[in-house]
Structure 1
Amino acid sequence: MSLFALAGAVESGLLFSLVALGIYLSFRVLDFPDLTVDGSFPLGAAVCAALIAAGVNPFVATAFAALGGAAAGIVTALLNVRFRIMNLLAGILTMVALFSINIRIMGRPNLPVYGHDTVFDAAGRLADLGLWNNAAVLALFALGAKLAVDWFLKTETGLALRASGENPAMAEAQGISNGAMILLGIALANALVALAGALFAQIQGVADVSMGIGTIVTGLAAIIIGEAVLGRRSVFLATLGCIVGALIYRLFIALALSAGFIGIKAQDLNLVTALVVAVAVVASQGRQRRLSGVFIRRRLAKGEQ
């Protein structure tokens, strides 16, 4: 694998770690299977590209893109909480609607931002790292998002969010509004995904209405791989696993596609993705069984004593 391909894989891994962090909040913390992300990812790209093309500062455009993702998450949560639509279907409905909304925002199916200033250009003027400039900027975003999620989940509101996802009945008995927690959690999750979409559009130089296809699979793959490697005994390890898992996933994909001698081609990407996720799930299940076995043996040993 060439150095250029390695840098691209690292960039992609760091970018999709933001997606993984968002999906972690919805799937793992809230236990809410949210398919909105396949629409909020291109929504972030569309909002950011439209604003940048209109001459708005790229940092401001990126912030508004994240707010757009939060708004999409709130719509999904309202469909579930207020109108009692099943969470999976609520996400699908929002995702489908966002396809048309994204075209409306851009005015066409895709919108280039070539020739306009981006956050990566601004960072490059401060410290030019050459081939690794984009990766350094994305690393700052990924680490910042990870630390922010860690901090938030330790606050009183964050603990309430975790309690609502872990045991809704008990949380309700303690005076926690499960509906409010779903609204907050899904909004934050999709804000992170839309932020990733905005950064992706600036790296690629174009926002496209179809760029969100498969986002949910990539994010879940990163989470599963991260859990297989680091586990999820704490929030710190779980969020770190999102970053590590995304990097491993994208590096493995890049390595597989560059290994021409084994016959893998670009059109085999979906097949490779499915295999990687399957292996990660099996490895994660094996890890859980081993940990459960150790726990049981320790309890038995204490009982014998």
Structure 2
Amino acid sequence: MLSLLKSMPGAIELGLIYALMALGVYITYRILDFPDLTVEGSFTTGGGIAMILITNGASPWVATIAAFGGGAVAGAVTGLLHTKGKINGLLSGIIMMIALYSINLRIMGKPNVSVYGIDTIFTTSNVLVVVVIVVIVTKLLLDLFLHTDLGLSLRATGDNERMIRSFGSNTETTKIIGISLSNALVALSGGLFAQQSTAADISMGIGVIVVGLASVIIGEAIFGARKVFWATLAVVLGSIVYRIIITIAYRVEWLKASDLKLITAVIVIVALVVPTIQKSLKQKKLARKRSAELLTDPVQRGGGQ
């Protein structure tokens, strides 16, 4: 139990770093209803850009901002493939994810880049404090953006694209901006993760889409998603809860570190299935209640006579 408590700060740190990625997934998955797999490549892009710039003497903060920009470019290309190239959304993400593997190797020059012994944004500051500040600022800026005219258009495009287009709004541009912002946040998360672990690896982005979905689904299931502020907060908290669950799972004797992806898949399945079962049971309960009312009410049973 003591060792578990000692590992909690690290779990919260990772949860907050991944929360930025989860916010990016939230934009495409929930707001735009766009199945974007680009994130598996843009996460690594962010980490690779940050590591290369830092090892070449750039300021860690400049490297972090550059990582954000690199992800935005990757997302914009996916958006262009989908909107201008008329390629299926899922296929557009897959194509860009594959392309980014080679691009990331070009960026890093080799499969793994380390900044061990070189200053990062966490070198002179407490990791948890820095990450908390970055996540809070990013979350509030995202909330602010989603309440602007462009942000409202983005949300409306995901709800009813045809209706928004009938009002004269350019939904293609809106989609490109949304997908670009999503991958920018994912790359920012990758840049912070690489600095926290002092290394970027070509395979570091594999499976992050599932982690992001798990964070979004867990957050919404536990904390709800009534308004934008609470929805984004739920995503952040969901990411933290996910990492805590993973940390606890590692303490189970018969589970191995190699079971991480399996654990993640099970968590997502449970998070998806449980709300559906609850909704089904609620509907059946209401149906039984309504049937009982009809049987006991002579007026309704007699058709109002």
TM-score, normalised with respect to structure 1 = 0.90
Given residue 239 of structure 1, which amino acid in structure 2 is its aligned partner?
A: T
Structure 1 position 94 matched with structure 2 position 85: no
Structure 1 position 120 matched with structure 2 position 125: no
* Equivalent residue in structure 1 for 2:167, among 142, 152, 174: 174
Structure 1 position 212 matched with structure 2 position 205: yes
Given residue 268 of structure 2, which amino acid in structure 1 is its aligned partner?
A: V
Percent identity over paired residues: 48
Q: Identify if the C-alpha distance between structure 1 residues 271 and 18 changes in structure 2 by more than 3 Å, giving closer, same or farther.
A: same
Given residue 266 of structure 2, which amino acid in structure 1 is its aligned partner?
A: L
Q: Equivalent residue for 1:151?
A: 144
Q: Aligned runs of 1:220-235 on 2, under 5 Å?
A: 220-235=213-228
**Contact 1:36–1:94 under 8 Å retained in 2:** yes
* Equivalent residue in structure 2 for 1:267, among 255, 258, 261: 258
Deviations 1:200-253 (A, max 9, x none): 000111111110000000000000001111222211221111111111111011
Q: Aligned runs of 1:17-28 on 2, under 5 Å?
A: 17-28=19-30
Within 2, Cα distance between the matches of 1:12 and 1:178? Answer: 35
Aligned pairs, number: 291
Structure 2: runs of 5+ lacking an equivalent? 294-299, 301-305
Within 1, Cα distance between the matches of 2:83 and 2:27? Answer: 17
**Contact 1:102–1:209 under 8 Å retained in 2:** yes
Q: Identify if the C-alpha distance between structure 1 residues 295 and 113 changes in structure 2 by more than 3 Å, giving closer, same or farther.
A: farther
Q: Equivalent residue for 1:161?
A: 154
SS in 1 for 2:36: coil
Deviations 1:249-283 (A, max 9, x none): 110110011132xx222122222212111111123
* Equivalent residue in structure 1 for 2:247, among 212, 229, 254: 254
Structure 1 position 199, deviation (Å): 0.3
SS in 1 for 2:113: strand
SS in 2 for 1:258: coil
TM-score, normalised with respect to structure 2 = 0.90
Structure 1 position 186 matched with structure 2 position 198: no
Within 1, Cα distance between the matches of 2:232 and 2:279? Answer: 18
**Contact 1:164–1:176 under 8 Å retained in 2:** no
Given residue 224 of structure 1, which amino acid in structure 2 is its aligned partner?
A: I
Within 1, Cα distance between the matches of 2:129 and 2:278? Answer: 32
Structure 1: runs of 5+ lacking an equivalent? 125-132
Structure 1 position 288, deviation (Å): 4.7
Q: Equivalent residue for 2:79?
A: 77
Given residue 230 of structure 2, which amino acid in structure 1 is its aligned partner?
A: L
Given residue 23 of structure 2, which amino acid in structure 1 is its aligned partner?
A: L
